[in-house]
């Protein structure tokens, strides 16, 4: 691999500005890397070489004229394949959208193109972002760059594997219940889910709209902050978009955190934690104490209900969102239907995979008359209770920490027969989506087999600047983030 690919996005950006490397060279290096290793990883559904090189050329023309460059111009990025990019197929890793070509750009995509960020390809995911291991892709599995027999985490497994293996320097993912943070943790990189409403979802294929949020993948906290600066901001095309100013998160990364109050989530550090994850957690506590923070235990007693709440609400919303895939306007249409109803049924039966069907059925049931009050309404009420638990906790502490997952990446195929075991992987991540708060996963060590461990940080709504600051301080106290998968 070319040395430049190992560098952080901000280092690559500086190298381009200082004419040490051209954006075209860097983009080609990224594409070469993908072409040489992605057969083993399966991180990409498709490459968008032409779009990437065209963008890189624009960067080089600006450099030649000594013009200022927009932030991260020329740094190769992988786009999760549930976000629209004109000129690319956007499949959501589903057979139903296998040949769907984006008719317009998602807002995030447009922002990346405006900033001259070369988009090298569309990253693999669990079908419609439903899953925790990326094994639900209709096309191929993604392998973890640290050990090819293990899962990369899901649903943004392709995005995480691409960044972790230096195929791309940055990626975007979407996080409905942990789909950015879990794969970031399993692949040893930084994954960030912003406050609900910070980043527009216009042009993201919706899974569960009250939970979905787009966010950055990178190998450093600084890169994550920079990428969020580019993609966030008000968008009239997304009715949940917050009309607040865009921030400069990099300015406060290195602020002193003496006196900061760090809460350790009691329910997420007890029983059931893998011993090496437990050790990494203790190390995180010690690190924050050494940095002058005050560490206390915080209880979130309703956290145990979060998976139950999520699997009612997310499935209910997806049953509604996925109703649009009916063989009429988008994607796959069956060849052998006698009438309209049969056309709908067969198109959906042929197009959707098993997990997606399971969720549509669960959600339809939870919303059906007679069950709505018992399931959907109850889950909404409990969502509120979980959210209030966070509000109370943040009266006492500035940030909450926990492992991103009780265990490290598991073997491919080991949980595919047991949906419940798969759902439980998200025990630490889901509640941040229910509460709409920002949360991130950062590299926090390795287990005995050399697999990465992730530390999750959660903070109050709209406190991203502080969250990045607290994450950066931890990152800079260790060299975990400097270690790269050997592939």
3-state secondary structure of 292: coil
80 is catalytic: yes
- Min separation Cβ 145 and ligand GLN, Å: 20
- Among residues 127, 135, 175, 475, which is the contact residue for ligand GLN, using CB under 6 A? 175
Q: What's the min distance (Å) between Cβ of 155 and ligand GLN?
A: 4
Which residue in this structure is represented by tokens 């892709």?
137
Q: Nearer Cβ to ligand GLN, position 407 or 483?
A: 407
In terms of Cα–Cα distance, which of 163, 182, 280, 161 is closest to 224? 163
Cα–Cα dist 125/120, whole Å:
16
Question: Which of 121, 178, 188, 216 is the binder for ligand GLN (CB under 6 A)?
Answer: 178
Run of H or E including 392: helix 378-396
By the rule CB under 6 A, 322 interacts with ligand GLN: no
Query: Which residue number, 55 or 456, has a Cβ lying nearer to ligand GLN?
Result: 456
Nearer of residues 2 and 407 to ligand GLN, judged by Cβ: 407
Rounded Cα distance, 416 and 191, in Å: 24
Can residue 177 be called a binding residue for ligand GLN (CB under 6 A)? yes
> Which residue's entry shows tokens 């509640």?
431
**146 vs 207 by CB, closer to ligand GLN:** 207
- 463: its two tokens: 């406190």
Cis-peptide into 190, omega within 30 deg: no
Cα–Cα distance list, 237 to 103, 107, 172, 277 (Å): 16, 8, 19, 41
Using the rule CB under 6 A, give the single segment among 37-45, 176-184, 381-389, 413-421 that binds ligand GLN.
Answer: 176-184
Contact status, residue 471 vs residue 457, Cβ threshold 8 Å: yes
Positions in 358-417 near ligand GLN (CB under 6 A): none
Helix (H), strand (E) at residue 44: strand 44-47
Report 179-198 residues binding ligand GLN (CB under 6 A). 179
How far is residue 297's CA from residue 402's CA, in Å, rounded to a whole number? 11
Given a contact cutoff of 8 angstroms between Cβ atoms, the answer to whether 85 and 8 are in contact is: no
Q: How far is CA 324 from CA 103, 345, 359, in A?
A: 16, 13, 15
Answer yes or no: 179 catalytic: yes
Binding mask 128-167 for ligand GLN (x = CB under 6 A): -xxxx----------------------x------------
Which lies closer to ligand GLN via its Cβ, residue 125 or residue 467?
125
The site map against ligand GLN for 90-129 (x = CB under 6 A) is: ---------------------------------------x
- Closest approach, Cβ 223 to ligand GLN, in A, equals 21
Q: How many CA atoms lie within 13 A of 348 on its CB side?
A: 18
Give catalytic status of residue 22 as yes or no. no
One-character DSSP codes across 50-65: HHHHHHHHHHHHHHHT
| Residue with Cβ nearer ligand GLN (118 or 191) | 191
Among 8, 88, 174, 179, the active-site one is 179
**Least distance to ligand GLN, CB of residue 339, Å:** 34
- Strand extents, DSSP E, 176-277: 190-193, 213-218, 261-265
Task: Kindly state whether residue 437 participates in binding ligand GLN, applying the rule CB under 6 A.
Answer: no
Residue 153: CB minimum distance to ligand GLN, A: 9
| Catalytic residue (one of 8, 137, 155, 218) | 155
* Nearer Cβ to ligand GLN (183/327): 183
Q: Which residues carry out catalysis? A: 80, 155, 179
Q: By the criterion CB under 6 A, which residues form the site for ligand GLN?
A: 129-132, 155, 175-179, 207, 314, 426
């Amino acid at each position: 691999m070319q040395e430049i690919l190992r560098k952080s996005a901000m280092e690559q950006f500086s190298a381009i500005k200082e004419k040490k490397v051209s954006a075209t060279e860097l983009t080609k290096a990224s594409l070469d890397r993908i072409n040489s290793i992605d057969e083993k990883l399966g991180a990409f559904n498709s490459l968008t070489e032409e779009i990437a090189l065209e963008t890189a050329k624009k960067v080089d023309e600006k450099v030649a004229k000594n013009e200022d460059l927009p932030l991260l111009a020329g740094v190769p990025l992988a786009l999760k394949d549930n976000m629209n990019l004109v000129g690319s197929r956007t499949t959501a890793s589903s057979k139903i959208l296998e040949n769907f070509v984006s008719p317009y750009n998602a807002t995030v995509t447009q922002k990346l193109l405006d900033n001259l960020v070369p988009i090298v390809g569309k990253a693999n995911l669990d079908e419609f972002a439903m899953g925790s291991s990326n094994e639900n892709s209709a096309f191929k599995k993604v392998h973890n760059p640290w050990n090819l027999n293990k899962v990369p985490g899901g649903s943004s497994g392709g995005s995480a594997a691409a960044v972790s293996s230096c195929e791309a320097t940055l990626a975007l993912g979407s996080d409905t219940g942990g789909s950015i943070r879990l794969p970031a943790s399993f692949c040893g990189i930084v994954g960030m889910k912003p406050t609900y409403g910070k980043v527009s979802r216009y042009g993201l294929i919706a899974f569960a709209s009250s939970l979905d949020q787009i966010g950055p993948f990178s190998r450093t906290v600084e890169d994550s902050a920079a990428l969020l600066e580019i993609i966030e901001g008000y968008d009239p095309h997304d009715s949940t978009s917050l009309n607040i100013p865009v921030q400069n998160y990099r300015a406060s990364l290195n602020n002193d955190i003496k006196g900061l109050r760090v809460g350790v989530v009691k329910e997420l550090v007890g029983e059931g934690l893998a011993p090496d994850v437990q050790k990494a957690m203790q190390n995180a506590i010690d690190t924050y104490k050494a940095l002058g923070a005050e560490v206390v235990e915080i209880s979130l007693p309703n956290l145990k209900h979060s998976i139950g709440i999520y699997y009612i609400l997310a499935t209910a919303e997806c049953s509604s969102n996925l109703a649009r895939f009916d063989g009429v306007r988008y994607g796959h249409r069956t060849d052998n239907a006698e009438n309209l109803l049969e056309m709908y049924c067969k198109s959906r039966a042929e197009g959707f995979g098993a997990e997606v069907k399971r969720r549509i059925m669960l959600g339809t049931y939870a919303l059906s008359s007679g069950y709505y009050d018992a399931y959907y309404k109850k889950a909404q009420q409990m969502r509120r209770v979980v959210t209030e638990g966070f509000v109370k906790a943040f009266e006492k502490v500035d940030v909450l920490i926990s492992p991103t997952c009780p265990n490290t990446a598991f073997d491919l195929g080991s949980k595919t027969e047991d949906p419940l075991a798969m759902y439980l992987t998200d025990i630490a991540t889901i509640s941040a989506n229910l509460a709409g708060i920002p949360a991130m996963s950062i590299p926090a060590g390795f287990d005995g087999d050399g697999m990465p461990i992730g530390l999750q940080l959660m903070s109050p709504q709209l406190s991203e600047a502080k969250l990045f600051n607290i994450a950066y301080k931890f990152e800079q106290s260790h060299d975990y983030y400097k270690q790269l998968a050997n592939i």
